[in-house]
A and B are shown apart, each in its own frame.
Chain A
């Protein structure tokens, strides 16, 4: 009997204990902007009673599981009034929080909550870019540019003057995964890189990750730029637009059905060609003309089926085009000859995505995405000739086109699972079908109606498949330790061969005290796609190519250590050191030329390795009338290729020892704000022959003339260009109108007219002396634009 009693008591204790442990409930929902309905990505959800918290995901959804108890819930996002609610949690609860903007509040009231502060986050080497900052900083020709703003951050370098290419911790522009609503963008540049393809008015958030990559990212070595478009205002129709020196843009968003379906469309186009065409036609005898333009078009529809189910459709199309039309006519002995030729270079991206969010349970969120992405570059020339005499009319013509590009069809599914406040699990998988066109030439010739030549030659089109899966967990251990660890597995199948890679990822932070943390991370990354870049010219002639038997996938290993600190509640300071190795990088061989037709791309390149290491310092102030950052990077980046530079290590072209970026905005009052940008960078390393001498053939075989002497190049990238620095300033005048708000923006790019180096070469001066000559692109350039919101 005593034994039975003891057993019953034991079982009862177990049941009570089990019931206590099992009594947890989940609070979930979406966080959105109360005025527009836009989701607030990364919003903080925190229970001060238990000390547990989480953040909203990329779709504004959050889920937090807490014990049955009183909950002091606070949902906050920078710049918004926090949502607070105290209640007793005794069932799964849905709370969709609509936060209101806090523009009128004092500075201290909008400070980041505990879990938003830089030292709290487990992630490192990650920066969330403020779109307000993008719009208020002065820029080239008044064109707001997300990529140009990212270039001001430590660890990120621009390439040549005016280029929007990103060189992150020693990696090249091909090693950046640029995502627009989860879809890779293969060429994010207009006009040789002077502007990016992203219209800031249509963008909701931008996140840059340089290291410590979480497992859900993969496919590139050096960075992830995750750009999310706005969803469209669910409440009212609004719009923004601007008219600038070289382009104009317009964005309109609004509900199709209030609180159910919204849309956003935006477009941008330059108009230099339209304005100049009458003048060019006037100057030419036969009405020949030419020009350049680019355009971008974004569109998105967002539909809410229910609290559990949402659908997003988004699309982007953009193009750059240079064109020239030349006409020629003449008559001779009763015969007239008319000739018209058209030549052009154009390139652009087309992207489309369908995303479906479904809440499987309060703890399990799913996102299914199907995407299409295409990048194409085309150079073409066509001529049509017509000859007319008394016997009749004869026509003929020919055309030539060079095509290169890449096209993807992709599907993926991602899950967010929050079983416990101390765990945030993500897992998912996906597949992409790639079609590569790494340089195809098409030649046609017609005589009358007869096709004399119709041929295609060059590199073959290649089909490949890429697959991946991942699992990661963001784990809080006690009060001091938070880690994000995971595995990313991926593979690539092309030409009957499959490459695979298992990539461990880790990042963690240790709270030294409430304002200071130490962080560490390790990432192993794989990249199957290569980009052939001709560094000698600034044209979009880059080729995306797959791995082959000879050209293996690229890999990197990166470790980073750092500290993060919030000082006086206003300043965030982070110091990070990193060391990164890269293998199977590709470069063009000595003498290889982009325009070599009939030569397979694989025979033009060499494979080698790279190392990059350095220290980055970021001091940032995000709140108050004066905001901005100062970033400094000290770094070294080298390359080593067995068959280049005779196997010796040489500096990477963008090995910049010192890089400084200062970006500050100040609100003078409610109507006027100013922005200042100052950048400094050690000069790029370029290849320059510095000596000349007689060749063996010249002295022993009697060679003469052009090949008499050899220009000696001591090493690849042997010569340092002069340093680059530039000051930009801008001022914005805002005025509220009955219909909305208008802003006049005035800016000066390169205020002290620094002639920054773009290209170096040797040239003869007027006295016949050979001088080292520097080409600079942009002198002091004033700009103005008129923008409006309604």
Chain B
């Protein structure tokens, strides 16, 4: 495959050698710096927002944080919940815990920038009703034995709403007295995830309930590189649609960066007049001791 891609690139290179190249004007006026608002809310963490500035792609400057902005949170009745306070550079934090199923609107204002706003709600929590594991492969490479673990988890999807989920697995190693954790790459052939993960492994699986709406479904995952691990943390996130769309598109964008044959990817944003993401999620976890 690399040879084929190499040949194709050589052909394109030959074409390129015959071609002319010149710099042309880029309409920078269309890309004035905007506020970038990043925030994910959950019921167990107070409001937390990061503000930074966007730049034109041809601007070599830094994507610096925005200080001294006014960041306010409103509920769906339009009442002010709280005004966040800048904690560290660009990070604005509050004292209130968001509630489930309430539409929150964040508005950020900063000098020299157009105001931005975004709205989202934290979806209802979906819990893991059952889980199981099975060791499916043990093999040796040149230095050590490797184990693949098959994990199944079950949960019930709420009916009558469009629901979105994310699954991640964290490996924790406490062998050396401390605690070292890293994400585990997951493979799955389970069709309920759709076709996006059929031929690759990912550190997070993002999916909607289109194929199991209102049902109790069991999902099967295969985890690699889980030898010599103390325990695994199986995470099931119930995500807002914004959270899902952003992470899904961001995942696709990062996977295809540098591939000249891949279609361009638009990363989702729900920030009006700006960039970034304001989403919500709730987490249900299970610990799997190895």
- Give me the interface of A with B, judged by CB distance under 8 Å: 192, 322, 324, 341, 343-345, 379, 381, 400, 402, 534, 536-539, 588-600, 602-603, 645-646, 687, 689-697, 699-700, 706-713, 715-716, 722, 755, 757-758, 760, 762, 765, 768-777, 779
Contacts and interface: CB of A to CB of B under 8 A. Distances in A.
Contact of B40 (A379, A691, A700, A757): A700
A785 to B, nearest CB: 20
Contacts of B5: 595
Given A192-B15, A343-B4, A345-B7, 17 more contacts: A344-B7, A537-B8, A538-B15, A590-B265, A591-B255, A593-B256, A593-B263, A687-B264, A692-B63, A693-B34, A694-B63, A712-B54, A762-B58, A770-B57, A772-B24, A777-B19, A779-B20
A592 B195 CA distance: 12
Given A691-B56, A695-B250, A599 B198 contact: yes
Contact of B38 (A594, A700, A711, A755): A700
Nearest to A765: B23
B1 A597 contact: yes
A324 B7 contact: yes
Given A693-B63, A711-B57, A775-B16, A591 B52 contact: no
A686 to B, nearest CB: 9
Interface residues of B, number: 66
Interface string B1-42: 101110110111001101111111110001100101010100
B266 A691 contact: no
B199 A713 contact: no
Contacts of A537: 8, 12, 260-261
14 contacts: A192-B15, A343-B7, A381-B4, A591-B265, A593-B259, A598-B199, A600-B195, A646-B245, A689-B57, A693-B53, A696-B246, A772-B58, A776-B22, A777-B15
Given A537-B260, A694-B38, A758 B4 contact: no
B252 A379 contact: no
Contacts of B22: 755, 773-774, 776
B195 A603 contact: yes
B123 interface: no
- Secondary structure at the B interface, as helix, strand, loop or mixed, is mixed
Interface of B: 1, 3-5, 7-8, 10-12, 15-16, 18-26, 30-31, 34, 36, 38, 40, 50, 52-60, 63, 90, 195-196, 198-199, 245-246, 249-250, 252-257, 259-269, 275-277
A707 B19 contact: no
A696 B58 contact: no
Contacts of B261: 534, 536-537, 593-595
A591 B252 contact: yes
B58 A770 contact: yes
Contacts of B34: 691, 693
A694 B36 contact: yes
Nearest to A722: B24
B24 A774 contact: yes
B250 A697 contact: yes
B18 A693 contact: no
Contacts of B259: 593
Contacts of A768: 60
A693 B36 contact: yes
B266 A716 contact: yes
B116 to A, nearest CB: 12
Given A589-B263, A710-B250, A595 B1 contact: yes
B263 A592 contact: yes
